């Protein structure tokens, strides 16, 4: 297991992240980042950015797709900030989608490469996000957990249509079939919130790939993420996923709202 990356965040957030190749994969196709502007002026306007991506498309294709997605989202958010965080996140995912497609055109061996991407911005305790794929963003308050993102997957559509119960979706044999990803298809339609989510002191945000949520249920995620410091929560949750077989790469970011 890799060492937990504890970010030196500005006051207001305690951040930690961890990625692990898992027990059955030969390479890690996940990418992630946590970023804050250096200047106080930019920080007041742009706040904080967290991104997680789970690539697909073969040995190197998925790894490159997730890397391109994360780097592009950061570049757009840092250098082409629009009128507000939400619009900037949408523009960043659109740019990442095009960048991955361009990369695949320039490297034909990576044809079909793509990635999930969940991008989060926090400005003045207001949470904004844009999301494509089946990585997830959870909001935990006290012992209550809410999944803010909607899975762009075949099984997700079955749940929304009432064909499959939500409690059965996590173990459905086709749960990993995506219906949308950056880099695939002509256009993307990211899932975004109807309005910004107001955060309170003590709230925890958890971003994770399906290598974690596919093995650890929501209530267990909530209990560990909220009851332990972010650094310890990362280690404990990855260790649990590995103990349960770790068939996929495992990546998570834990963000705790503090004073």
Instruction: Quick: pLDDT tens for 94-108.
Output: 999 999 999 999 999
pLDDT for position 128:
98
Q: How far is CA 48 from CA 35, 78, 235, in A?
A: 6, 10, 23
The answer on pLDDT for 154 being more than 70 is no
Confirm if 114 and 56 have CB atoms less than 8 A apart: yes
Confirm if 21 and 27 have CB atoms less than 8 A apart: yes
pTM for the structure as a whole? 0.92
The answer on pLDDT for 2 being more than 70 is no
The closest of 151, 116, 117 to 49, measured between CA atoms, is 117
* Span 178-226, pLDDT tens digits: 888 999 988 999 999 999 999 999 999 999 999 999 999 999 999 999 9
DSSP 24-65: S-SS--EEEEEE--SSHHHHHHH-EEEEEEEEESSTTHHHHH
Mean pLDDT over each residue of the chain, to the nearest integer: 91
Query: Which residue would you say has higher pLDDT here, 5 or 176?
Result: 5
Domain boundaries, the chain: 5-257
Cα(131)–Cα(118) distance, integer angstroms: 4
The closest of 191, 207, 196 to 256, measured between CA atoms, is 207
The closest of 107, 106, 102, 25 to 69, measured between CA atoms, is 102
pLDDT for position 83:
83
Confirm if 76 and 122 have CB atoms less than 8 A apart: no
Confirm if 130 and 190 have CB atoms less than 8 A apart: yes
Cα(30)–Cα(252) distance, integer angstroms: 10
The answer on pLDDT for 171 being more than 70 is no
Tokens matching residue 138: 């959870």
pLDDT for position 82:
84
Residue 171 makes CB contacts below 8 A (sequence gap 6+) with none
The answer on pLDDT for 164 being more than 90 is no
Q: 5-257: which CATH number, 3.30.565.60, 3.60.40.10, 3.20.20.60, 3.60.150.10?
A: 3.60.40.10
What sign for the dihedral angle of Cα 20, 51, 147, 114?
negative
Confirm if 9 and 36 have CB atoms less than 8 A apart: yes
**pLDDT (mean) for 50-79:** 94
The answer on pLDDT for 157 being more than 90 is no
pLDDT for position 169:
55
Q: How far is CA 256 from CA 17, 66, 74, 206, 237, in A?
A: 12, 25, 21, 9, 16
**pLDDT (mean) for 227-237:** 97
């Amino acid at each position: 297991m890799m060492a937990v990356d504890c970010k030196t965040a500005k006051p207001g957030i305690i951040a930690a992240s961890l990625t692990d190749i898992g027990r059955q994969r030969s390479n890690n196709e996940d990418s992630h980042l946590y970023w804050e502007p250096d200047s106080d002026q930019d920080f007041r306007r742009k706040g904080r950015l967290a991104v997680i991506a789970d690539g697909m498309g073969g040995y190197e294709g998925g790894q490159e797709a997730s890397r391109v997605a994360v780097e592009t989202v950061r570049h757009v958010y840092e250098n082409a900030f629009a009128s507000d965080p939400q619009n900037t996140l949408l523009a960043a995912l659109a740019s990442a989608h095009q960048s991955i497609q361009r990369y695949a055109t320039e490297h034909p061996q990576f044809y079909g490469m793509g990635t999930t991407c969940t991008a989060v911005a926090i400005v003045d305790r207001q949470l904004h996000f844009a999301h494509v794929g089946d990585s997830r963003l959870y909001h935990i308050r006290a012992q209550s957990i809410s999944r803010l993102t909607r899975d762009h997957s075949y099984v997700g559509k079955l749940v929304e249509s009432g064909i499959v119960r939500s409690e059965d979706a996590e173990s459905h044999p086709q749960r990993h079939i995506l219906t949308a990803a950056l880099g695939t298809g002509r256009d993307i339609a990211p899932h975004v919130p109807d309005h910004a989510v107001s955060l309170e002191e003590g709230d925890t945000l958890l971003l994770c790939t399906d290598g974690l949520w596919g093995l650890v249920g929501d209530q267990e995620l909530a209990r560990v993420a909220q009851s332990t410091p972010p650094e310890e929560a990362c280690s404990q949750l990855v260790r649990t996923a590995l103990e349960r077989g770790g068939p996929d790469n495992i990546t998570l970011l834990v963000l705790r709202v503090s004073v």
